[in-house]
Each structure stands twice: as structure tokens, then as C-alpha cells.
Structure 1
């Protein structure tokens, strides 16, 4: 049994923390400064972590390699199992032309571009984040905004800023689920605490989007429907995450938000609509003086609507990659129903599987616990066997399996042929190949650092920040997502560190664990991966630095808001918001 020591270097927690942080420094420098590909940065950091584990912490070589293997497997299942199946459902709607019908239906909800930004980038983007995440919402939302008349640069910036509040519960709750699994905290507690932080962001983001699109005039004329949408999302996110379902949190919140927005827009006199064409003349601050990027929107790998052609007469003609015949889908009531059908199927499937009787059967019949062979590690403080050495293979009740089932049902209801469905799945795997490798590598890194004691060492050192710890904890998550591009990866890297620091400082572990995820969502718009996805999807390749300058102020301002919120939650001022 290997039991890590917190201060292996001469009994000094400070020097030990510096060495323990080397894998993270390597990762941040390679990816954030030298712009090395994420999977290569992860590989280098993993190698560094193994060297530190063996040389500094005395972890046996076999156990260090074994912990990396367990972490990589966790990255593949359940994490990427969720993402692959979620994106497969979306890809089928693209390949059959139903996505174009969905896009045009959004345009009909409002002819005011300021509120179109809220509908598409915030509401529909949140739904995409709930189902897939990992850059898909930014690419798809930006392309849809361009199709609605936005300039590429503004479309990309709006999509990046909108992709904030939903991120913590993205990909069917993957970041929160990962945080719970790695820290050992109950999923219900982690979900509830995150659901008491991120709604504060959701309430203001739609108003920020209106300001980005049309400045002060936009806020003055449309603040009420934008604020109503944000508040509706916030309330729904709080209620769902605390009392209903972790996986469906953003799905429910997105649907409630768009419903409230449409209702408010239908109320006469609730806001002053902007005439068509007025926005371009009076309030465009884009550095982009041409629409050259619009023609290439969707050409990026995995971009929304790749291969789709709008024939101009209300018909979407879609030619899937890899062969197949064109599929023309005319706008009609039936086509609109089919366009929304996949999301309805997902909601129904998850609602049914969350029924107590069904959930119990699925867990009993389809869950296997493995004590990972050859991996014997004790907690550095308690001396008890580390919980993360047990692999939970819940193949039947897994979120990814439910998404796969939803995809099969969707294919049947939309009469998608097995060949088209199979090609869509193959294309999805191809588009996600580097993301799969990156996530597996980052989770392997996290497991090595956690089980060798490196994370605990850093956590105990950070605990010395005292009263400032609560204020600074969101910054750690923000930094992690800004570099990795993933709230899931940031939670894997820093989740246990936050919990360890909380326990050693007298804070509620759920508070700082949730702060890591909630603060992390604000780093998403700055991550090199997300900037590259937004630029590529809108035809702005090479202009990532301009996009960064456009959104960095919003990221820092919202981060400050989150830091203040978490600090107040740690005091008597907002302490009542903590779990009882």
C-alpha cells in the first residue's frame, strides 16, 4: 500500500508544492504560451507528473503508470462516451437537413437582431452546451448568427461571451459529475452548490449580449426581455440542479428561458424593436469591414451546417460527407416538429430513467465496480484506501448510454437510414478524435497527480491563503479552463486540490469545489481552443488575438463578480446559501 507524504522534499510544504506544480506549469506554458497542441501538452505534462511522482514522492513506477491508465479510461468512459453520443444526435440533424429548419425557425421568433443574439447564442447555445459542449455551442451559434445577418466578428464574439453560465452543467452535467467522482463529494451536493452560483451569471449575460450587439441603445430598448430571459434561465437552473436532475439542468433552463423571452416579446409595448437594417448603420463596432468570412462559415471541421445549402425558398438541401443523396426539407409545421424532435426525445428519455423504480433497475442491472488491479494507494491524511482507485462501470444507466438510446429513437422517428446514421457516427468520431485523446490525457494527468499526493500537497499549501482562499478559489478554475478549454478538465486538475484546501482552512468543501467549476466557466471564452473554434467556424482564421481582446474584459469582469459571490457565501452575509 503506497501512502503519499505531503512534504517529501526536506519536510518543506513550500518546496514540495513547487515541485508538485511542475506538471501544471509544463501544461500551461506549452499550451498557453507556446501554443503546442492540447494533446501533446497533456502528454508532456503527464510524463512530468509521473517523473515527479516516482522521483519526489516515491510512488512505485508500476502504480504511477497504472493510475495514468485508470485516469485515461475514466476520460473515455463516462466523459467522452457522453460527448460522442451527444454530438452524434446533432450530426444526424445536420446530415438530414433538419438543422437548417431549426435555424430558420429561430429567425422567425424575432426580426430584432439584438434579441436574435439572445435566442441563438444564449438560449440555443445553452441547449447545445447541455447536449454536447466542448466547443460545439460556439461554432454552431456563431454560424447561425451569420446566417441571420450578423457580421462574422460580432457573431464570434457574441457566441464566445454567451457560452458561460451553461458550461458547468454542459455535456449532460459532465463537469459536475467529474468533480463529484474525483472529490468523493455527493453529486447532489456539488450540483446544488454550483446551482447557487452560476445562476448569478445567467441573470446578466443576456443583457451583456444586447450591449455587445447594439451598445447602450440596445440595453435601453431591450433590457426588459433580455433580463427576463436571464432571470428565467437562472431560476430554472437553480431549481433543476437543486431538486430535479443534474443532467437536464441546462436543457430545462434553456427551454424555460426561450419560452419566457418569446412570451415577453409578444407583449405589446414590452420593448422597442429595432427596424431591419438599422443595426448595421448605427451600432456596428466590428473591426471586420467585410462579410468575407460569412461565405466560409461552417467550413470548419465540425462546424454547424457543414455541407448545407439554403436554396432561398425555404428548403434546406443537405449533402452529407462521405456520400449519400441530398435531403431536401421544406419549412412546414411537420418539419419544424421534426427539427425539435431530437431534443424532446432526450428530455423524455432522461425523465423516464430518473424515475426511482427505473433508476434502481438500471443501476442494479448495469453497474459494475472494479477495484483497479495493482493500484493500492492510501489517502495521505486519513490513511484509508483512496476512493478513486475504484472504477465504476455503469454502462447501462450512464448518461452516454441514454444519449445513444436517444439517438437511436431519433433516427427511427426521423426515418434516418442505418447507413446515414452510421456515417454520422463515424464523422462524429473523426471530428472528436483529438478531443478524445486530449481528455484522456488530461484525466490521466489528474489521476497521477491526485494519487501520488501532488494535488494534496498543493492544496495544503494554498490553504495558507486563509481568508483570501474563498475569494481566490474561482480564479483557479478560471485559469484551468482558460488553458485547457474545458470545465471538465479544470475540475479534474483542481477539484481535489480545492477540497483539500477547503478542509484545511475550515471552509465547506462543496463551496470551493463548486467555485472551481463556476469560476471555470468564465475562462471558456479565453481558451485558445474556443477562440480557434470560433474563428474557424466564422471564417476568421488568424484573428484569434482580436477576438481575445474583444472578450477578455467581459471574462475578467464576470470573474470578479463570481469571486465576490463566493467570498460572501463563505461569510455570514450569504452563508445562508450554503447547503444545510
Structure 2
């Protein structure tokens, strides 16, 4: 027996929105004012969202339990699988002693921490986002910075904020591709439209990172290499978006910026030459081999020809297990105005044993153990240590996803979207807020576009705004929430050993997230007026 979603349980969209926002408001309050541990705040938020779903939205209890369970399972696969693999790879590098060589190889380029940060937190972060996504870039780059001697909280914050430049295109452009699928707009057109504004924001990000790290004094001292990083990334991002499409902007722009910055440093700074001579090419390649293997494998896993092997009719199609969530799959019915006609809401867990990005990372770990000549016992001990360290962050992610899935399947998140859509002609300014809410709830720009992409299109036609503007704004606004989403915060704190300090990191990134969101709103409003 199906159940149709109710989007206005109070018969007044704004009163309904107040009810729907209670769990989110409590989570903010818990992390900022009450300074609760993230896993406690998330757990209580789940309870609140369940109460709201049952008491106000009249969602059947068995479906509420199914939605929460679906979120918990999704947190384990694929998210926890990816995070554990990424941090395990980093720990193998440390345990083998090779991370000292990695540190020395970076120092051989520059001993300036601000430029090291740009190489790792900005450029390498963007590359990993383009290849893997799902939290792996934050986990790996934040851990690398801590290994280089950075303060753990600042390392985590810098990597989260740096991800703003690359988050819109995710792993191989999937966020934009999904936005195109749900809105009916060509993905290349969405990407091209994003290309008018996102490269400008990307150009600004490296300067912001340096300022956060060392104030205006630091920006003045290293503005030239920062400019090189920012300009080469933004230009390469724009050209790739415009002339190639949404799949490769992160990878191409990150490589161009990383190489350009390294070349600029080498040309302008001769004093590090003596340090560089202490390392041989073989030593450097061996030390970086785990991350070289990671880069090659996750890129391969993201290519269309490889994905085709696991698609319907592909050679390895049967290795993907599609598990329907009992009592939930197609039992929740989406209704108007969220969708044009009543539509069953699927709830299928894809257990892609081989095709998952996490499997590419896990294989990288096995290859790293072979290259670094680490025995099975050391590998097993390192894996168990990694799981133990990440147990609380993973529990936090489980609770966050349980809350997100209850909010989505009960219709709470849609209520917030419809309330914002009722703001008529100021909606273009608030359109990115809808994307921001989507990513805050799910931790994923992909999931956000799947959730709100069609609503943005519908609202655009109602208020006579070009749909392309609002669909692009949904993606841009979502990116601004990645640095703040509970899922991202949990990954970052787990990677740098700050479990229990999630509230500190949340408060650190909050002002930057809001600032970027306001900027995205202004850009969208101006575009709506002009186009």
C-alpha cells in the first residue's frame, strides 16, 4: 500500500516550513551554541526528524524506519567504504616511513607552508575531487597537510573551503550530468552557464585560503604565486567547461595549476636546489606510489568505457547487486507540484562490489602494500586502526544520512523547497539556498541536484525565469554547503584526528559558507534580471 507525500501538512506553507526546519535548526544549535559532539547532535536530529515525519507528515512508521535504515546503509556503502580506504592509504604511507620522503619532496619544491597548502589543499584536492569525490579528497589532503606539520583544525578547514572550487563538477562531472537528467536541460549547457561564474569564484579561493592561513600580510607576501595558481586554475576550468564539457574541468584545471605553481616556484626560488638533490627520482616515485596508484585507478574507474562494463548488458553487469529496500521502494509517491504527476520514489541500494570508487581505493591500498613491501599483519593492523579511529565519524555520517533520508522520503526537505519557491521574484536570490539546503542534508551535490533539480525547473517556469539559471544556481549553491555539511565535517575531523571537535570545525567554516552563498545568490539574481 503506497503513501503519497504531503508537502503542506499545516495548510500554510510557511508554518509547514517552520515544522520541517526544526531538525535542521536543532543540529545547527547543537553544534554552535550547545557545542555538542557531532554524533550526539546528529542522533538527536534523527529522532526529531522521525517525530516530525510521523506526527505532522503522517508518514507510516514502517516507511520512516525504512528511510532511516536506507540512509544508514548508504552511509556505510559507498561513503564509509571510500573514507576508510582513503585514510588507510595515507596510514600505509606513514607506517612504511615513506611519508617522510613525501614531505621532503614537497619541501624540495618550497619550504613556504602557504605554497605547500596551495599545492596540496587546493590543486591536489581538486584533482582528487575530479577523480574520486565522496569525501576522499578531504580525507587525503587534510591528512597530508597534518603530516606536513599543519594545525589539524586549520588543515581540515582549509581543505573543506578549497573544495569550493571543484565541488560543482565532482567526480567526472556527475553533479552536472545528474542536474541535466532531472531538469531536461543538456548537461553541457548547464556546465557552460556555470562557466560564466564559477571560474571567478575559483580564482578568489586561493587568495582566501592564504588569507585564512596568514592574514592580509601573507597575501601580500605570496600574491604572485597565489595569482599564478588562481589564474591558471580559473582559465583552465573555464576553457574546459566551455569547449569540452562537465567531465574534465577538475582534472585538467588542477593539473595545470599544480604544474604552473611548481614551475613558478622553481624558476623564482633557487635556494631549495640543495634540498632537492638529496632525493632521487626513484625515491620520490616510490614514496608517492600509493597516490599514483590511487590516481590511476580512480580515474580509470570513472571513465565511460570502464563504467560500461558494469552497465546493463555489460560484461560484468552481474557484479552489481540492486537491493530494493523492503517496505520503502516505490511505496512513497511524490506528488505535484514537486513532480508533474504522481511518481513512485525508488529506494534501491546499489551494491557495486567491483565498480564502486571505494574498490579502486582499496585496490590502491593492496598495490601500495606490495610496492612498499608491507606484510599482511601490518596491513591488517593498520586497517583495524583506521576503522577504530573512524568509528565515531562514521557513526555521525550514519546518523546524518538517516536524518537526510527521512527528511527526503517524508517530504520535509521538499516543504522547505516549496516555501522558498513561493518567494516569487526574489526567488532567484534564494535559489542557491535551496541547493545549499540539499547538500547540507545529503552531503552530496549529486544528491542535491537529484532532489531539487526538477523543482528549480518548475519554479523557473512559474516566475518566468530562464530554467537554466536556477538549475545552475542549485548546483552552485550546493557547492557552498559542502564545507559545512555534517558528512564533510565528520570526514575531515576523522582524517586529522579531531573526533569530538566537529563543532569547532563547523563554526570555523560557517561564516565562509554563508559568505559564498550570499555571493551565489547575488550572481543568480543579476543573471535572472539580465537574461
The TM-score normalised by the length of structure 1 is: 0.72
Q: Which stretch has the larger CA shift, 91-100 or 203-212?
A: 203-212
Q: CA deviation at 1:261?
A: 0.8
Q: Distance in 2 between matches of 1:452 and 1:543?
A: 28
The 8 Å contact of residues 460 and 501 in structure 1, kept in 2 or not, is answered as no
- For residue 57 of structure 1, report the CA deviation from its aligned partner: 1.9
| 1:397 maps onto 2:355 in alignment | yes
Q: Which deviates more, 93-102 or 515-524?
A: 515-524
Matched, 1:374 2:374: no
Matched, 1:517 2:470: no
Which of the numbers 289, 304, 310 marks the counterpart of 1:362? 310
Q: Give the number of aligned pairs.
A: 503
Shift of 1:98: 1.5
Residue in 2 aligned with 1:386?
A: 344
Matches of 1:77 and 1:194 in 2, distance apart?
Answer: 33
Task: Tell me, in whole angstroms, the C-alpha distance in 1 between the residues paired with 2:304 and 2:348.
Answer: 25
Deviation per CA, 1:474-514, whole angstroms, max 9, x where unpaired? 44666787x88x843x8768973575355234344632430
SS of alignment partner, residue 206 of structure 1: helix
Once the two structures are superposed, residues 419-447 of structure 1 have per-residue CA deviations (whole angstroms, 9 ceiling, x without a partner) of 22222221221121122112222122122
> Distance in 2 between the 1:136 and 1:383 partners?
44
| Structure 2 match to 1:132 | 136
TM-superposed deviation, 1:341: 1.7
Task: Give the equivalent residue in structure 2 for 1:434.
Answer: 392
Tell me what 2:366 maps to.
Answer: 408
Matched, 1:259 2:220: no
Residue 75 to residue 169, structure 1, CA distance change in 2 (3 Å): farther
Flag the 1:386–1:73 CA change in 2: closer, same or farther, 3 A: farther
SS of the counterpart of 2:310? Answer: helix
Task: Find the aligned partners of 2:435 and 2:472 in 1 and give their Cα distance.
Answer: 13
- Aligned-residue RMSD, C-alpha: 4.4
Alignment-derived partner of residue 109 in structure 2: 109
Q: Is the 8 A contact 2:99 2:287 kept in 1?
A: yes
Cα offset, 1:213, TM superposition: 5.8
Gaps of 5+ in 2: 462-466
Contact 2:72 / 2:402 at 8 angstroms: preserved in 1? yes
Partner of 1:504: 459
- Aligned position for 2:203: 203
Partner of 1:13: 13
Q: Which residue of 1 aligns with 2:89?
A: 89
Change (3 A) 1:60 1:218: closer
Question: For residues 402 and 542 of structure 1, do their structure 2 counterparts lie closer, same or farther at Cα, with a shift above 3 Å needed?
Answer: closer
Cα pair 1:46 1:444 within 8 Å, conserved: yes
| Structure 1 residue 53 displacement after superposition | 1.7
Which stretch of the first structure deviates more once superposed, 40-49 or 191-200?
A: 191-200
> Is 1:37 the counterpart of 2:34 in the alignment?
no
Structure 1 residues 515-554: aligned runs within 5 Å: 515-521=476-482, 523=484
TM-score (norm 2): 0.78
Distance 2:24 2:105 in 1: 45
Q: Which residue of 2 is the match for residue 346 of structure 1?
A: 294
Cα shift at 1:167: 4.9
Q: Distance in 1 between matches of 2:239 and 2:376?
A: 39
Distance 1:184 1:332 in 2: 52
Give the equivalent residue in structure 2 for 1:460.
418
Compared CA separation, residues 530 and 89, structure 1 to 2 (3 A): closer
Task: Rate the CA distance shift 1:167–1:137 in 2: closer, same or farther, 3 A.
Answer: farther
Contact 1:192–1:238 (CA<8 Å) still a contact in 2?
Answer: no
> Residues 256 and 349 from structure 1, CA distance in 2 versus in 1: closer, same or farther, beyond 3 angstroms?
same
CA 1:59–1:346 in 2, change beyond 3 Å: closer, same or farther? Answer: same
